Structure 1
């Protein structure tokens, strides 16, 4: 039998699976950094007050990418190319979630609706990221190799989630409430499908690298499907709820440095 802790320990202990794990994570963070940087540059004039916070969000994501690359370097490993079926960010885009890279590459101001879509998309994906980091901190926060890194990233993800809640609630008060709820629901239902798809692809790759026996691989796949069924039935509602966070103005300053990385 296995647990989440033993599963991740196995992945962290093997150089090949650790390399793939960090490469996937670094790639996703780098994409997030670029996206937030472009959104900050294209914020409509009516919402320019958000630009510094979006810039900070992107700087945090870039920092996370550097942290994962630093973890690879500490083991003397180079990143590997991310398999397309494990590219969470790009798969979400193809599903129509968030703002497309084509739109972000144009030098045309975004609309207020675009910013609502961006924040709703971020609220969903940051919830996923924050939950994952809480789990990793629980099991590996004291680990000499990765503990400091995951604690730093987890704190940032909590800030990102708080920022999304606060800004979406502010926009709801300004009259965007119906669109926000509609967008959150559509994004959440699509995200849980993509998350299942990516989780299955990542576990399949890890299983091949680590030589998992067929029963273990099948049990893991079944667990992923069970999580999807729960989220599809009821769990998605937690992802679309908005509450005023305890951390107010969480992205109201420059991104803290990570000199150790």
Structure 2
């Protein structure tokens, strides 16, 4: 029977598909680490209190990248180039979602609205990340190879999501509510389309590596498109609501590390 658990098990068990999976994940985390580091360096003076949390966010993303590289090393594998059609972060940027990399490469301070855009965009993408990690913890949290890494990353993603909720609520009270609402909606609607396209591309690559029969590949593609239809109809709303999280000041401390993933 085709299930999330059986599908991921198949990917993990094969060196080629596992190599591609970890390479895509590591690349995305590295991009996130770079973006957060640049944003922290360019935070406007009026919002410098956010810089340590943004730095912590970036440090977590860098750590996740190291974790995926460590998983590759344990299998005697190296990272492979990421197919551009599977590059989630790049495709979001091309749609104008988040802060453009050109802006982040400059040595000019960001505006307060830029920081609001960053946090709203992050609230959407961190929801996706948290949902994915929840699914992996459910099905693979006890896996002897990837289980520990999954739990660590999942905890970090929950912290990132809590941080976005808390800071956006604070900024809404400070008068940025209209901008937050607009950017959340734009980001969510763009993200669900990019996630659909990336998911289809990743499954296409996995299918070729794992020699999936055409009916299996078609069934998976249909499932991805059905999920997009649901998200476009109503599911995207979960990405734009704001509520005070149970985890307060989730990024207020130093990032957790483990020697094996250093």
Matches of 1:191 and 1:248 in 2, distance apart? 26
> CA-to-partner distance for each residue in 1:85-120, whole Å, 9 max, x for gaps?
000000000000000100000000000000000000
Q: Output aligned runs, 1:113-192, within 5 Å.
A: 113-192=113-192
CA shift at 1:260, angstroms? 1.8
Unmatched runs of 5 consecutive residues or more in structure 2: none
CA shift at 1:206, angstroms? 0.1
CA shift at 1:256, angstroms? 1.2
Q: CA RMSD in A?
A: 0.5
CA shift at 1:69, angstroms? 0.1
Instruction: Tell me the secondary structure at the aligned position of residue 81 of structure 1.
Output: coil
Partner of 1:206: 206
Q: Does 1:39 align with 2:43?
A: no
TM-score, normalised with respect to structure 2: 0.99
Unmatched runs of 5 consecutive residues or more in structure 1: none
Matches of 2:68 and 2:257 in 1, distance apart? 15
Kept in 2, the 8 Å contact 1:24–1:82? The answer is yes
Q: What is the aligned length?
A: 261
Instruction: Tell me the secondary structure at the aligned position of residue 259 of structure 2.
Output: coil
Structure 1 ranges of 4+ moved more than 4 A = none
Kept in 2, the 8 Å contact 1:97–1:121? The answer is yes
> CA-to-partner distance for each residue in 1:15-45, whole Å, 9 max, x for gaps?
0000000000000000000000000000000
CA shift at 1:222, angstroms? 0.2
> CA-to-partner distance for each residue in 1:57-83, whole Å, 9 max, x for gaps?
000000000000000000000000000
CA shift at 1:258, angstroms? 2.2
> CA-to-partner distance for each residue in 1:160-206, whole Å, 9 max, x for gaps?
00000000000000000011011000000000000000000000000
Matches of 2:168 and 2:258 in 1, distance apart? 29
Partner of 1:11: 11
CA shift at 1:254, angstroms? 1.2
